Structure 1
Amino acid sequence: MFFDDRFHKYQLGDLKKDVTAGITVGIVAIPLAMAFAIASGVKPEYGLYTTIIAGLLVALFGGSRYQIAGPTGAFIPILLAVVLQYGYKNLLIAGFMAGILLILMGIFKIGSLIKYIPRSVTIGFTSGIAVIIFAGQIANFFGLENVEKKEYFHENMIEIIRQFHSFNVYSVITALIGLLIIIFVPKLFPKVPILLVALFIPTMIAILFYPDKVETIGTAFGGIAQTFPAFRFPEITLAKIAELWRPAFVIAMLGGIESLLSAVVADGMTGKRHHSNRELLGQGIANVVTPLFGGIPATGAIARTATNIKSGARSPLSGIFHSLFVLFTLLLFAPYASYIPLASMAPILMVVAWNMSEQKSFAHILKMRTGDSVVLAVTFLLTVFVNLTVAVEVGLLLAMLSFIKRMSGVLEVEKVLPKSHNKQVSPDPVEAGRDCPQIEIYTIDGPLFFGVADKFEKMLTRTMREKPKVLLLRMKHVPIIDATGEANLASLVADFQKQGGTILVSGMSEEPLEVLKKSGLYERIGAEHFFSHTGPALQYGLKIINYKTCKSCRFYAFSECAAFKEQKAFSREQYSEQI
């Protein structure tokens, strides 16, 4: 799987570019890995382990040649919630289960379905995650003491306000220095690895000018071990699976969405195409293996993938070199990370939160004032004030209901008759007073599914002036019929046939026709009553009506009506198959 089309036309000269890109991304990934791990409620080295293992495995088995995987900001709220509620060891189990789910999603080719998740839902929970990340760094930014992490957003805000009197001036100075570096240095020196600089300079200032005045990784977590973790399989039981399946499912869904979004961004930057299901498979393998070494869940990282491309990456080897660089740094420089102030990491995460907040898209969808606006607002508020699991579930449900409501307005059922001058059917003759007591023709336009099936039946029964002898349904523009639509159509057919009427169907496309054949409705209507065009169907209908009724009819709905009154024969070729 490794030596595949992602290495198409790969040359030796590309190797140097991959090495350079890998090191560049590795420099960016190190501070982010530690910051994301700390914000998720675990030790910083677990973020580094995730970067090393997941980055390597996604590069080997993923579906994009440029994807860089690792811990991301999007995971912070859900991982922190799992840690607070279940503990770190159970987080590993949830991550392992999420990996299995991702593998299954790849095997069963669900990658192509994830793209159908509404943008209002993804923007809603992404913006909500950004708010949680930003607010979660206020305590470190101000150096607040004794701040207990709570499960809910409002509880954390109350805790921060309660402890705000304990703010540390030195922490504020450290954080402000880092924030100013992140904002202004890239404008002067765009090629500088800004995140590493934003950690290094505040750390040196804190060591030189006010040592022991701010909380550091060392004082908070005891430093970072200068070794790679040992393999350890988590203790998985049926009780644990039952307890953790919901967070595992959300981790898998979020990981799949983020990875495929990142791959799409990479495609847009390079003109290449990723393999969505293979990407899910690679992400799944990474998330199964990473917890075995103490790592947290990982996904494709959009910012790091974009950095990889901008740094000249040519193949998945850049992702491998990125992982090796982080491993080398861990083994060589881990003890020095204990001096990094937590206050210097706060502005990094705050800027990450701002960049992922999608504030322009959020405002744009809200201004539309449609069903999408409601879905966006509800998903956002639930993400912030309840949790991501509930937000995604409710958001998708509301999006589905909004879609059904919109689609129900798409279905049109219109009574029509042929125009006398060109035989094309139109509602005009009906509105002009021409009608036929024996044949009624209806044009059905739109999908016949559970959201509109009842409406379809009611519209037909309501518009039928009397019980005609023949009911002709023109269904050329019905793209789908689901089980509910088929059931309502079957009910209409049964009632009509019980009263001695004949149902004719014209123009039905292959997919809905197959549904009727499988359900048996095709046989109940009669194979001889299905026509490719309206013309032949109408010719058939005119043959089976009662001509005695035509003698006393005053409507002259069809051009043949005069001939019927005189009991004259009519030509089969009178109606074109193009009607």
Structure 2
Amino acid sequence: MLQFFRQRQRSIKGDTLSGLTVALALVPEAVAFAFVAGVEPIIALYSAFFLCLGAAVLGGRPGMISGATGAMAVVVIGLVEMHGVEYLFPTVILCGLLQIAVGSARLGVLIRIVPHPVMLGFVNGLAIVILLAQFGSFQTVSEAGELIPLSGPPLWIMLGLIGLTMLIIWGLPKLTRAVPSSLAAILTVSLVAAGINAGLGPDYVAEGQWNVVPTVGDMVATGKKDREATKARVTLEAEHEAKTAGRPSTELDPALVQAAVASALTAVEEDPESRSIAGGLPRPFFLEYANLPPVSWETLWIIFPFALTLAGVGLIESLMTLALIDEITETRGQSNRECLGQGAANVICGFFGGMGGCAMIGQSLINVNSGGRGRLSGIVAALALLSFVLILSPWIQMIPMAALVGVMFMVVIGTFEWASLKMFRRMPTADVLVMLLVAGYTVVMHDLASAVVLGVIVSALIFAWQHATHLNADIKINEHGSKIYQLHGPLFFASIASFKELFNPREDPDDVVIDFYYTRVYDQSGLEAINSLAEKYTALGKRLHLTHLSPECRTLLDRAGSLVEVNVSEDPQYHVATDRFTR
């Protein structure tokens, strides 16, 4: 799986260079998710730093990268819109505490039960989501304050630079592995783009764009222009509704809207800091914000649902990424430790005014592809990201988006499980349907966590349906005239109907034996079916013997008292199915 990310040995050089590569890719992702969540870009950048550093040091998967993610941003935006950004930080702290509780309860191992079709659907859906997310880099803001696609020379130049980036990433490893191909591609294309932006005049610049080749700084400014234009429209509409309340409906003058949007766009364009990602050292959130929520049960009642959702989404996405990196690197991460590490990182992140986050699949794959295998890669990425914010922001703002989009396109190619397309005819139909369901839900809803949960539920239901009719019995009469039913197959909630159809209490002899040597009772529904059958035989004055029950089943059945008789003298040994399989 994912042969693009071939096996590599861990090294300090590889971890350091791959960490630098990842740090460059973290910047635009963090900024983009900040606009999704409705917070300032610096908040997302701080989040990426704390999450990346905390998870790298404390987490259970060396080489995995964490930061601010879209899945968390989608949850955060509702909280920020309803209650304000001040409620965000205690929510993130509570989210971290819940994740620590999950790790302490050792529930992280549950990720191991995710079926392979779910993993295939998750990976393929993720690749498509990453691909679609890159098309946002092909947009700019028009004079009317609306996002419009690039066109003309800027579009063709950007496509050419994306192709150059992908060519370098593909071809450089064939010549040398001294430098990660992704890092070399970013640096090379950045130099080419700088020359193009300096050499071509403003006639080639797209509407609403500062450079012929859009840069990270352009992306930051585009996001700010889009947000300010939207805010201007919403403000005018709210004022208009307030003024016309109780009067005959009148339409808002489009000229006023256009003037307000133009004013907002001009303010962004004239602001020297509109393209900057610079910031100071992070400080505790209670020193930065004045209108903090009170420490009360009412506040807890508000933030707990959001914190619970953030914790669940973050852990599922992180543990799925862990399983993916495990498969790529052919190593084994520690899922429970990862829960603890993600939780601790979110607590620190919330304390210092971050928006929270989890493992980032795209950046983790970039790290692995660039040679990052140890914790040092994540530490270097975090420290480099902080240095970008504090010192090197003017240089980072000049990196062309074409280079970063090209890197992500190669991640898409390496992430998608192409072999799954050839497996359709060989895979069971149910597995194909599960894979397509998970992939489709991921693409349509952009919710990786819910897609995995849905896939596991559907897989479990399919398993239950398929095994519901697998229960049967070999029937014989022994030398004492007793009728023996030797069961084969699992006895659980879905198979109790088949279980009951096997027996005919009225026509059976007075002595009946059910042999559980080749089966096992899995749940309370199975036990209740046995009790119900025993009552029927008892009501007819007949004896029912249960032999070769597993010890836990016998313990539960003993509580039924006289309803069920277990003849221990005829059942000298009791075997558990798992014990038989491991001998």
The answer, yes or no, to whether TM exceeds 0.5 is yes
474-483 or 230-239, larger mean C-alpha shift = 230-239
* Deviation, structure 1 residue 306: 8.4
Match of 1:447 among 482, 490, 509: 490
Match of 1:499 among 534, 540, 544: 540
1:184 aligns with 2:191: no
* Deviation, structure 1 residue 60: 2.9
Residues 46 and 258 from structure 1, CA distance in 2 versus in 1: closer, same or farther, beyond 3 angstroms?
farther
Which residue of structure 2 aligns with residue 328 of structure 1? 387
Which residue of structure 2 aligns with residue 208 of structure 1? 198
Distance 1:326 1:145 in 2: 27
Distance 2:136 2:78 in 1: 21
Residues 378 and 445 from structure 1, CA distance in 2 versus in 1: closer, same or farther, beyond 3 angstroms?
same
1:357 aligns with 2:416: yes
Which residue of structure 2 aligns with residue 396 of structure 1? 456
The residue matched to 1:495 in structure 2 has which SS?
Answer: helix
Is the Cα contact below 8 Å between 1:413 and 1:460 reproduced in 2? Answer: no
Which residue of structure 1 aligns with residue 359 of structure 2? 299
Which residue of structure 2 aligns with residue 170 of structure 1? 154
Which residue of structure 1 aligns with residue 303 of structure 2? 240
Residues 396 and 507 from structure 1, CA distance in 2 versus in 1: closer, same or farther, beyond 3 angstroms?
same
Match of 2:316 among 235, 238, 253: 253
Which residue of structure 2 aligns with residue 37 of structure 1? 30
Distance 2:499 2:96 in 1: 44
Which residue of structure 1 aligns with residue 58 of structure 2? 61
Specify the code of the residue in structure 2 equivalent to 1:179.
G
Is the Cα contact below 8 Å between 1:54 and 1:70 reproduced in 2? Answer: yes
Match of 1:99 among 96, 99, 113: 96
Residues 135 and 260 from structure 1, CA distance in 2 versus in 1: closer, same or farther, beyond 3 angstroms?
closer
Which residue of structure 2 aligns with residue 546 of structure 1? none
Which residue of structure 2 aligns with residue 524 of structure 1? 563
Superposed structure 1 runs of 4+ greater than 6 Å apart: none
Residues 115 and 238 from structure 1, CA distance in 2 versus in 1: closer, same or farther, beyond 3 angstroms?
same
Matches within 5 A, 1:87-236: 87=80, 89=85, 95-141=92-138, 143-145=139-141, 163-164=148-149, 167-188=151-172, 189-191=175-177, 192-196=179-183, 197-198=185-186, 200-210=190-200, 212-214=210-212, 215-218=214-217, 219-220=221-222, 222=274, 223-232=276-285
Matches within 5 A, 1:560-575: none
Residues 275 and 290 from structure 1, CA distance in 2 versus in 1: closer, same or farther, beyond 3 angstroms?
same
Residues 323 and 391 from structure 1, CA distance in 2 versus in 1: closer, same or farther, beyond 3 angstroms?
closer
What is the TM-score of this pair, normalised by structure 1? 0.71
* Deviation, structure 1 residue 304: 4.2
Specify the code of the residue in structure 2 equivalent to 1:24.
L
Distance 2:192 2:562 in 1: 79
Residues 348 and 39 from structure 1, CA distance in 2 versus in 1: closer, same or farther, beyond 3 angstroms?
farther
Aligned residue pairs total 475
Is the Cα contact below 8 Å between 1:442 and 1:474 reproduced in 2? Answer: yes
217-226 or 443-452, larger mean C-alpha shift = 217-226
Aligned Cα root-mean-square deviation (Å): 3.6
* Deviation, structure 1 residue 284: 1.8
Give the structure, 1 or 2, with the largest relative contact order (CA under 8 Å, sep 6 or more): 2
Residues 527 and 95 from structure 1, CA distance in 2 versus in 1: closer, same or farther, beyond 3 angstroms?
same
* Deviation, structure 1 residue 86: 4.7
* Deviation, structure 1 residue 446: 2.2
Match of 1:71 among 63, 67, 86: 67
Residues 85 and 132 from structure 1, CA distance in 2 versus in 1: closer, same or farther, beyond 3 angstroms?
farther
Is the Cα contact below 8 Å between 2:56 and 2:379 reproduced in 1? Answer: yes
Residues 326 and 99 from structure 1, CA distance in 2 versus in 1: closer, same or farther, beyond 3 angstroms?
same
Match of 1:384 among 437, 443, 452: 443
* Deviation, structure 1 residue 300: 6.6
Match of 2:472 among 412, 415, 420: 412
Specify the code of the residue in structure 2 equivalent to 1:451.
A
In percent, how many aligned pairs have the same letter? 23
Which residue of structure 2 aligns with residue 10 of structure 1? none
* Deviation, structure 1 residue 112: 1.7
Which residue of structure 2 aligns with residue 560 of structure 1? none
Q: For each residue in 1:388-434, what CA deviation from the matched residue of structure 2 results, as whole angstroms up to 9, or x when unmatched?
A: 2553443232111101012223322221345xxxx9xxxxxxxxxxx
Is the Cα contact below 8 Å between 1:478 and 1:509 reproduced in 2? Answer: no
Rg bigger for which structure? 1
* Deviation, structure 1 residue 485: 0.4
The residue matched to 2:491 in structure 1 has which SS?
Answer: coil
Distance 1:35 1:229 in 2: 19
Is the Cα contact below 8 Å between 2:20 and 2:380 reproduced in 1? Answer: no
Unaligned runs of 5+ in 1: 1-16, 150-158, 424-435, 535-579
Specify the code of the residue in structure 1 equivalent to 2:537.
F
